[in-house]
């Protein structure tokens, strides 16, 4: 029995490290540097040294999204509980800013970009609001 347990534990550890069981927030935290200067309300910002499309692709590679789409120069990832937005860094800065928000707040915040793809009805939070 013990001989079978070790490979199973190794597999679980490997998959967890790859984001298979992890949350997208863990993936973003592991890939990029937190930058609270660019937070937007409940959306937490991280700074990426790469372009927005490359930053979002790396996040999607670490934690598979439900969908991936773009609106102009903004890149989005949809998850069950979160929305991720990658956009070019502020004027004069290189790289991208990655914002992670809970699904309901992100939907409301970025509705002009996400509602044509996700749908016109915003999701509700746990209280049904």
Report how many domains make up the chain.
1
Distance (Å, whole) CA 30 – CA 33: 8
Q: Are 67 and 117 spatial neighbours (Cβ–Cβ below 8 Å)?
A: yes
Residue 107 lies inside a defined structural domain of this protein = yes
- R_g over Cα of the chain: 16
Residue 126 lies inside a defined structural domain of this protein = no
Task: Please enumerate in sequence order all residues whose Cβ is within 8 A of that of 85, keeping only pairs 6 or more positions apart, or say none.
Answer: 43, 74, 75, 76, 98, 99, 101, 106, 110, 113
Q: How many residues does the chain have?
A: 129
At residue 16, the pLDDT reads 38
Q: From residue 90, how far is each of 11, 61, 71, 97 by CA, in Å?
A: 41, 25, 17, 8
Residue 128 lies inside a defined structural domain of this protein = no
At residue 126, the pLDDT reads 57
Distance (Å, whole) CA 84 – CA 75: 8
Q: Which domain holds residue 34?
A: 2-118
Strand partners, 68: 77
At residue 11, the pLDDT reads 37
SS3 state of residue 30: helix
Indicate whether this model's pTM tops 0.95.
Answer: no
Residue 123 lies inside a defined structural domain of this protein = no
pLDDT tens-place values along the chain, 129 residues long: 545 533 433 333 334 344 444 699 999 999 999 999 999 999 999 999 999 999 999 999 999 999 999 999 999 999 999 999 999 998 888 999 999 999 999 999 999 999 999 886 555 555 545
Residue 113 lies inside a defined structural domain of this protein = yes
At residue 90, the pLDDT reads 85
Residue 10 lies inside a defined structural domain of this protein = yes
Residue 17 lies inside a defined structural domain of this protein = yes
């Amino acid at each position: 029995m013990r001989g079978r347990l070790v490979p199973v534990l190794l597999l679980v550890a490997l998959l967890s490290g790859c984001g298979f069981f992890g949350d997208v927030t863990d993936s973003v935290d592991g890939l990029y540097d937190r930058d609270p200067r660019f937070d937007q309300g409940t959306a937490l910002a991280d700074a990426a040294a790469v372009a927005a499309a490359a930053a979002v692709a790396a996040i999607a590679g670490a934690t598979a999204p439900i969908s991936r789409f773009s609106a102009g120069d903004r890149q989005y990832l949809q998850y069950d509980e979160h929305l991720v937005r990658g956009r070019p860094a502020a004027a004069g800065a290189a790289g991208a800013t990655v914002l992670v928000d809970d699904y309901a707040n992100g939907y409301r915040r970025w509705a002009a970009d996400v509602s044509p793809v996700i749908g016109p009805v915003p999701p509700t939070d746990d209280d049904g609001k």
